Amino acid sequence: MAEFDGKVAIVTGGHSGIGRATARLLSARGATVVAAGVPPTGGADAPLPGVEHVELDVTDESATARLVEHVAAAHGGLDIVVAAAGIQRYGTAAETGGDEWNEVLAVNVTGAFHAVKHALPHLRARKAGSIVIVSSVQAFVTQSAVAAYTTSKGALNALARSIAIDEAKNGIRANTVCPASVDTPMLRASARAFSDGTDQGAQELVESWGRMHPMGRVARPEEVAEAIAFLAGERASFITGIALPVDGGLLANAAVVLPG
């Protein structure tokens, strides 16, 4: 029997990056998976075989509620929620405009809240369930000029802790994964913006970012998906309220290096 046979999962942000890799992995291991989010522009990623793809603006609470109800009704319940939708915007606290601030918090934090809020009645009905939210190492440390983004990731860790405590009595677990740099379309877009705008320039910058990690490279989305699947499954049955770094040693690395 596959690990997730008989389980029903919703993955927000499931059309690209970490969310897409997670939807693929959960499906391959037996789950019925609905990937919800904004389809990538340009049609770069074809729909995953065996995964139901649904367009969703996670900031729209009523649309999220309808999706959750549809999935639970169509598949007889709900077991797993992975909140992977996210955006990145750059700017210091002084530079970030109100619209940008609200956009980042709406997608990254409120979007996750919407998915969790409307999934909880169905998870409670199972008397079990797992919620995994994609956060970031920037919940703990931060680079420059990411005021809104790093704030959103810290909030997600706090949200998961709150859910873990409130829902433990209902058999529901909630955790976050906190990746460092991951080779996703979002990272590539940032690399193009901060390089010469070419694919080659972006590749060189991604490789440079990778060398800043002790393991010498950025992560693959599939590596983060493995951590998400672990937390979503029964192997993690006594794990709740944690923030799991998937960071190639980045958080363990002191910035001061001895000479020699």
197 CB contacts (<8 Å, ≥6 apart)?
none
- 149 an active-site residue? yes
190 CB contacts (<8 Å, ≥6 apart)?
88, 90
3-state SS of 91-111? ECCCCCCHHHHHHHHHHHHHH
Q: What letter represents residue 29's amino acid?
A: R
Write the DSSP symbol of residue 81: E
Enumerate the H helices of the chain as residue ranges.
17-28, 61-75, 98-105, 111-126, 147-167, 185-194, 199-211, 221-232
Residues 19, 149, 190, 221: which is the catalytic one?
A: 149
3-state SS of 201-220? HHHHHHHHHHHCCCCCCCEC
Cα–Cα separations (whole angstroms), residue 147 to 91, 105, 123, 125, 209: 6, 11, 34, 38, 20
CA angle, residues 37, 39, 43, in degrees to nearest 5: 160
Q: Provide Rg for the chain, Cα atoms.
A: 18
Report which of 187, 254, 192 is spatially closest to residue 217, judged by C-alpha positions. 187
Label residue 46 exposed, middle or buried (CB < 10 Å: 0-12, 13-18, 19+): exposed
Report which of 190, 159, 186, 168 is spatially closest to residue 239, judged by C-alpha positions. 168
Residues serving a catalytic function are 149
